[in-house]
Amino acid sequence: MMKGVPDGGLGVVATDPQAIALVAKLFRGLADPSRLSLLDALRGGPRSAGDLSQATGLSPSNASNHLSCLHDCGLVARTRSGRRVFYELSDPRVAALLAEAEGLLADVARGVYECTRYAAEP
Q: Which of 54, 43, 32, 50 is nearest to 88 (CA)?
A: 43
- The CA-to-CA distance between both ends of the chain, in Å, stands at 37
Model confidence, pTM: 0.80
Q: What pLDDT, on a 0 to 100 scale, did the predictor assign at position 18?
A: 83
Q: Which of 58, 54, 48, 111 is nearest to 82 (CA)?
A: 48
Q: What pLDDT, on a 0 to 100 scale, did the predictor assign at position 36?
A: 96
pLDDT tens-digit readout, 1-57: 444 444 455 444 557 888 888 888 899 889 999 999 999 999 999 999 999 999 999
HSE at residue 50, side-chain half, CA atoms within 13 A, is: 4
pLDDT tens-digit readout, 74-115: 999 999 999 999 999 999 999 999 999 999 988 888 888 888
Domains of the chain: 17-114 (1.10.10.10)
In 9-119 the beta strands, taken as DSSP E runs, fall at 47-48, 76-81, 84-89
